[in-house]
Structure 1
Amino acid sequence: MAVSLTGTRVSAVALPWFVLVTTDSATRTGLVAFFEMAPYVVVKAFTGPLVDRAGPRTLSWTTDLASAAAVAVVPVLHALHLLSFPLLLALVAVVGAARGPGDLAKEVMVPEAAEHGRTPLERATGLSGVTERLASTVGPAAGGSLVALTGPLTGLLVNAGCFALGSMIIALVLPRRLGRPADGAGPPAGEARDGYWQRFGEGLAFLRAEPLLLTVIVMVAVTNLLDAAFSAVLLPVWARESGNGPGAMGLTGSVMGAAAVLGSVIAAMAAHRLRRRAVFLTGFLLAGAPRFLILASDAPLGAVLAVFAVSGFGAGFLNPVIGAVLLERVPRRMLGRVNALGDAWAGIPLGGALAGAAVASAGLAPVLIVCGSVYFLTTNLAGLRPEWRDMDRSRNRGTRRGPAEEEAARDNAGAPA
């Protein structure tokens, strides 16, 4: 996860800057983000049953290898003067379509690793969050430096190399007992014969019966849309218009990532002792709106970095809570399809496209203010819904058992002594 995520964070600086400086168009920059993230979300959503059936290990290394090949083609074709804009859109679509199942496969393997390590879910998801945040610290710094010194295409080559290395790690180094098909690990009688669409529908039915998960999914969908708009368009345009350049993009990302590492470490150590709902909503309050509003205020770079540090610290607490709630409530045999369907609601693909069009028509500052306001309202109003009380109850297994625990209880009740 560390290797592939670091490469992705390098590309998150290199690719938007490459499009922005070669096309001089915020709209086209947003369009490239859309063509990468729309296949990411769609393919990830429909790959859930396949991950459960084929196993996350196989999906992870094969899709990472495909991503590496597609990313590497971009600088090669550009050097040969063969890279048209439609061809670039096609290549980033391939990258997104491959990344979706690869990311899903790695996420699905986290609870299995926690089980083997006898680690609480909050701690395991916290360590996974630390890994992501470390990648978000190293990746933007490396990407910003590479782009500033050697140009954006070098960053894309680094991204391709990271995908290839991550593929080899999963295929060759991961212990053989990990990442096996969930459906082959003891599904209910007859499930192994179920068709793809029947298993897909089972995941939908499960989500409809879980109000807390649905509420979290819808809230995160809106914030993901805004985050995608921020990273794909708003931050690069700010870096260019302010004169700070790609180095500032990398610096802001690294400062936020470093602070998020601290938050994730604290969450990994202590989140299982804290009230989840309070931690979750406070984390979003710090992580969201302040980033947009500080860029809209035309503040100096030092003030921007300070706000990003506070936002990163709050963001570090989010994934451990979300991951633990999801993993407690979803049966292991359904984890791939339910996780994938949750991501299907994400507004990530539309974020860059909408932001590019909005900036082109209204300018940067008004779009930043509107996005920050929507972020604030979404994360605060959602917390008023009654389903959030279940977030704290799900940890108290004596008060309420999630579907995963109910399934285990049923299995144990029918097992021979």
Structure 2
Amino acid sequence: MTRALSAVSRPWGMRALLGAVLISSIGEAMVIVAVPWFVLETTGSAARTGVLLAVGAVASGLAGVLAGPLVDRWGFKRMAVTAYVFGGAAAACIPALHHLGRLDFATLIGLAAAASVLDVPGVAAVTGLVPGLAGAAGMPLERGNALLGGVHQTAQLAGVPLGGLATATLGTDAVLAMDALGCLLAALVISAGVPSSRATRPTLDDRVPETSDPPPVVCAYLDEIRVGLRLLWRERLLRALACSGAAFNALDSGLAGVLLVIYAHRELGSAAALGVMLTAFGVGVLAGTGIYAAIGHRLGRRWAYLASGAGVGLLVAGLAVASPSLPVAALLLGLLGMVAAPVGPVRTSAFQRGQRAETYGRVVSAVDTIGMAAVPLGAAATAVAVEALGVRPTLAVLAAAYLLVVTACWRSPALRAL
């Protein structure tokens, strides 16, 4: 009887994790609208808005490498809960200090950095929980990762318009408070609903060599960071995925952050067209994620990775040569989102299978940081290309770049291990 009850309850860990991610991701998406609006309301400065967003990105990127060992020291569940609590507390301080009249711009920058500082290790901890929870639920790993991505994408689609509506009707302070509440609720759901796994410690090969005098805490921590970076460099598959992922991130940021905005402005002449295209893309990603969740475990991971990248390149080329038309652009963006959806779950599954739990946090946090560093570089390069070449030629160049990255991945011996 006990075994039967245990077997019935096993899927709840995965469900709790997905529920926590949904709750927190909706709040995070709402803040995308609320935070810039809050800065504009309180300072009236567009430049300060940019500074605040840049500080958050830099803090998140730096912490990605530096905080990676915390995931391995504390374990996935504890790190995920800590990241949600820390981010929620920082978000709650913004409206609280604002009402008390104690929120100057320097304090706002500090709170924005604090809210972002555990984002990367928090994401690594959440993905680290998936293999055990998916196995306990009796589902393939690919499905677990795809469901996690699908929940996040659903939250993004719903959260941004909800954030705009809530900002307009309730004010930015209320939206920030809702984000804080969502983070704290997500932490509570994981604490109560996700079973604790056996604590892991670094294996003998990954520990700092013992001497007669134990190393200082700071030195030992830096040694753990070096172990993660050394593992990333030594493992050919991880290195290839990190490099190709950074390349795709750079191209994605140029497409979504620069080219689509300018395409909507110059070719379609409407800000609403940008919203339609981005919505079509989001719906496509959600549909593609659902399809991959259903059949992804039957597909070859290398084939899915290469086919997704090639499909994106061909669809971007289609956007470059098609006549400017919102229905056509929306259709192409929807298809693009659908074919691009498997890339994230494939990469995550590869890291989960190829990396031991005791070093997973360090390696994945480093990989995510590399990917984040490529985003502003890709956006800046694309902006320069648009000014020099124009929108359509830049789309063609971007399509060629996608296909070039896919070709390099196809020829890479390391990626055959996928």
- Normalised by the length of structure 2, the TM-score is 0.75
Q: Residue 134 in 1 paired to residue 154 in 2?
A: yes
Q: CA deviation at 1:236?
A: 8.2
Aligned partner of 2:300 among 275, 281, 288 = 275
Within the alignment, does 1:35 sit opposite 2:89 as a pair?
no
Summarize the Cα distance change of 1:326–1:62 in structure 2 as closer, same or farther, 3 Å threshold. Answer: closer
Give the match for residue 336 of structure 1: 361
Shift of 1:138: 2.0
1:109 positional shift: 0.9
Equivalent residues of 1:263, 1:315 under 8 A apart: yes
Alignment of 1:234-383 (within 5 A): 244=271, 249=275, 253-285=278-310, 305-348=330-373, 351=376, 375-383=398-406
Contact 1:261–1:313 under 8 Å retained in 2: yes
- Residues 157 and 279, structure 2, Cα contact 8 Å, conserved in 1: yes
Q: Does the Cα contact within 8 Å between 1:219 and 1:379 map onto a contact in 2? A: no
Separation in structure 1 between the aligned mates of residue 100 and residue 346 of structure 2, nearest angstrom: 47
Per the alignment, residue 69 of structure 1 pairs with 89
Letter in 1 for 2:199: P
What residue identity is the alignment partner of 1:136?
Answer: Q
Partner of 2:108: 88
List runs of 5+ in structure 2 lacking aligned partners: 1-20, 211-219
Q: Which runs of 4+ in 1 moved over 6 A?
A: 229-243, 288-295, 361-371
Match among 242, 254, 259 for residue 217 of structure 1 = 242
8 Å CA contact retained: 1:283, 1:318: yes
> What is the rounded CA distance, in whole Å, between the counterparts of 1:299 and 1:373 in structure 2?
15
Give the Cα–Cα distance (whole angstroms) in 1 for the partners of residues 255 and 99 of structure 2: 29
Shift of residue 23 of structure 1? 4.3
Contact 1:207 1:338 in 2 (8 A): yes
**1:80-108, CA deviations, whole angstroms, 9 ceiling, x for partnerless residues?**
66544443322211111032322221111
Over the aligned positions, Cα root-mean-square deviation in angstroms equals: 4.1
CA distance in 1, matches of 2:237, 2:206: 29
Quick one: distance in 1 between partners of 2:38 and 2:333? 24
Give me the identity figure in percent: 26
Q: How does 1:2-41 map to 2 (within 5 A)?
A: 2-19=22-39, 23=44, 25=46, 28-41=48-61
> In the alignment, what sits opposite 1:391?
415
1:124-172 deviations in whole A, cap 9, x for unaligned? 2222222222222222232233345455554333322211111111122
Q: How has the CA–CA distance of structure 1 residues 302 and 352 changed in structure 2, closer, same or farther, with 3 Å as cutoff?
A: farther
| Structure 1 counterpart SS, 2:67 | helix
Query: Aligned partners of 2:328, 2:40: CA distance in 1, in Å?
Result: 25
Query: Number of residue pairs matched?
Result: 385
SS in 2 for 1:182: coil
What residue is the counterpart of 2:71 in the other structure?
A: 51
Partner-residue secondary structure (3-state), 2:371: coil
Question: Structure 2: which amino acid aligns with 1:347?
Answer: M
CA contact (8 A) 2:127 2:348 kept: no
CA distance, structure 1, for counterparts of residue 377 and residue 57 of structure 2: 9
Mapped partners of 2:102, 2:181: distance in 1: 22
Counterpart CA distance in 2 for 1:73 and 1:374 is: 45
Judge conservation of contact 2:305–2:346 (CA < 8 Å) in 1. yes
Quick one: distance in 1 between partners of 2:386 and 2:109? 25
Which shows bigger deviation, 376-385 or 323-332?
376-385
Structure 2: distance between partners of 1:293 and 1:281: 18
Amino acid at match of 1:50: L
Shift of 1:378: 4.1
Q: What does residue range 402-413 of structure 1 map to in structure 2 within 5 Å?
A: none
Looking at structure 2, the residues matched to 17 and 227 of structure 1 have their Cα atoms a distance apart, in angstroms, of 25
> Shift of residue 314 of structure 1?
2.1
| Structure 1 residues 82 and 102, CA gap change in structure 2 (3 angstroms) | same
Distance in 1 separating the partners of 2:53 and 2:254: 9
| CA distance in structure 1 between the aligned counterparts of 2:388 and 2:177, rounded to whole angstroms | 33
**Which one is further off, 80-89 or 116-125?**
80-89
Distance 1:124 1:34 in 2: 32
Tell me the secondary structure at the aligned position of residue 12 of structure 1. helix
- Partner residue, 2:122: 102
Q: In structure 1, what is the equivalent of residue 224 of structure 2?
A: 199
Q: Over residues 244-289 of structure 1, what are the superposed CA-to-partner deviations in whole Å (9 max), with x where a residue is unaligned? A: 47x975x655543332222112112222322333422342355579
Residue identity matched to 1:142: L
**For 1:181, which of 183, 199, 224 is the aligned residue?**
199
Distance 2:111 2:32 in 1: 15
- How has the CA–CA distance of structure 1 residues 226 and 156 changed in structure 2, closer, same or farther, with 3 Å as cutoff? farther
CA distance in 1, matches of 2:96, 2:387: 33
| Contact 2:144-2:293 at 8 Å conserved across structures | yes
Distance 1:290 1:156, change over 3 A: farther
